[in-house]
Structure 1
Amino acid sequence: MPDISASPHVDPLVWGHGPRLFEIFVEPTCPFSVRALGKLDALLRQVGEERITVRILFQSQPWHMFSGVIVRAILAASTLKGGKETARRVMDAVGAHREEFEFTNHCAGPNMDATPNDIIRRMEQYSGVALEEAFALPDLQSAIKWHCKYARQNGIHVSPTFMVDGLIDPAISSGDSVDAWIERIFS
């Protein structure tokens, strides 16, 4: 059993501490979000943590059928030892095995018979993080609602969406290079 008493709060998914704020709204099984998430470490390395703050936020989307379960499990992981790094490990595991968490054409396939518990067990298997107990934390509801409210207040409708210093930048795409991101973020 994981020790959730050591870190009972939801650790914000924030890296870096620079003055430029780069926020990315993602759905963890969206292929475009997964591609964007894969660029964040390179972005931080190239720019430097003293120049940029990167924040990951969730934009759960109903056509990704297990989105709510997966988002809750990732936020649950952030309450465990390691906080945001543990959450990132779970998020990366989902991205690396996204077909295991998706439906064929968003409506068919083997996941039609999967339960939320099956999805959590897969996340645990791929990430090596025990999630079941933390998943049941009642306080996660507040964090999930905060992510939803923050996205709605900022006009976020799809993932991934990128904001620089509080303004959506529709010119930034998951298909762009990290260098192109840097140019947009610091222009």
Structure 2
Amino acid sequence: MSQNATLSADPLVWGHGPHIFEVFLEPTCPFSVRAFNKFDALLSEVGEEKMTLKIRLQSQPWHLFSGVIVRYILAASFQGKEAAKAVMKAVADHREEFEFTDHCSGPNMDATPHQILARLKDYSGIDAYEIFARADLQTEIKWHCKYARQNGIHVSPTFMINGLVQPDIGSGDDITDWAKRILA
């Protein structure tokens, strides 16, 4: 893709139903990973014709490689939402390869951003290097950030149903509980 070609991300949206379930995730957060791993089962339980799942990425500075990983996921979304999902799944399945011990120590202290990108590509099978390196990818990244701020989202995971933040929904909840709330 040439540097002059207009970027067009595939929104991280699954399903097409009237009930909107938006989830703000930081990809290396263990609680976000727990929520992410339930989404396929949730869509199956509720039905894609009844709900729409929207993943919003919420980079957080205490997850030290968060910005690099979020950028790569969004870069992958230009190959389609399933490519972005594959990168998120790779991070979820190999979380320790992308996170610091206690957010400040451990083997990733010696990792470089290039090594993190190589791990993302190797584990996911998605090569998003070309889009990752484009300055105009910031538009997509900033959209996720602004959208979260406009909705008062500061931490992950945070859940919204039909545009309203649901502070009492957590990643540890059973998907049947999520389904009841979504369809209420």
TM-score if structure 2 supplies the norm length? 0.95
Secondary structure at the residue paired with 1:63?
Answer: coil
Report if aligned partners of 1:76, 1:131 keep a CA contact under 8 Å in 2: yes
How has the CA–CA distance of structure 1 residues 133 and 144 changed in structure 2, closer, same or farther, with 3 Å as cutoff? same
C-alpha offsets along residues 23-47 of structure 1, whole Å, 9 cap, x if unaligned? 0000000000000011111111111
Secondary structure at the residue paired with 1:173?
Answer: coil
Matched residue, 1:106: 103
Matched residue, 2:8: 9
Q: Distance in 2 between matches of 1:5 and 1:90?
A: 25
2:147 paired residue among 143, 150, 153: 150
- The runs of at least 4 consecutive aligned structure 1 residues that moved more than 3 Å come to 2-8
Q: Distance in 1 between matches of 2:90 and 2:6?
A: 22
Q: Distance in 2 between matches of 1:143 and 1:151?
A: 13
Query: How do residues 1-187 of structure 1 correspond to structure 2 at under 5 angstroms?
Result: 8-80=7-79, 83-187=80-184
Aligned-partner residue type, residue 138 of structure 2: Q
Q: Distance in 2 between matches of 1:93 and 1:87?
A: 10
Aligned-partner residue type, residue 16 of structure 2: H
Aligned-partner residue type, residue 183 of structure 1: K
Fraction of identical pairs, as percent: 65
Aligned-partner residue type, residue 120 of structure 1: L
Q: Distance in 2 between matches of 1:155 and 1:8?
A: 28
Q: Distance in 1 between matches of 2:2 and 2:120?
A: 18
Q: CA RMSD in A?
A: 1.8
Secondary structure at the residue paired with 2:177?
Answer: helix
Q: How many residues in Structure 1 have an aligned counterpart in Structure 2?
A: 184
Structure 1, 88-97 or 129-138: larger mean CA deviation: 129-138
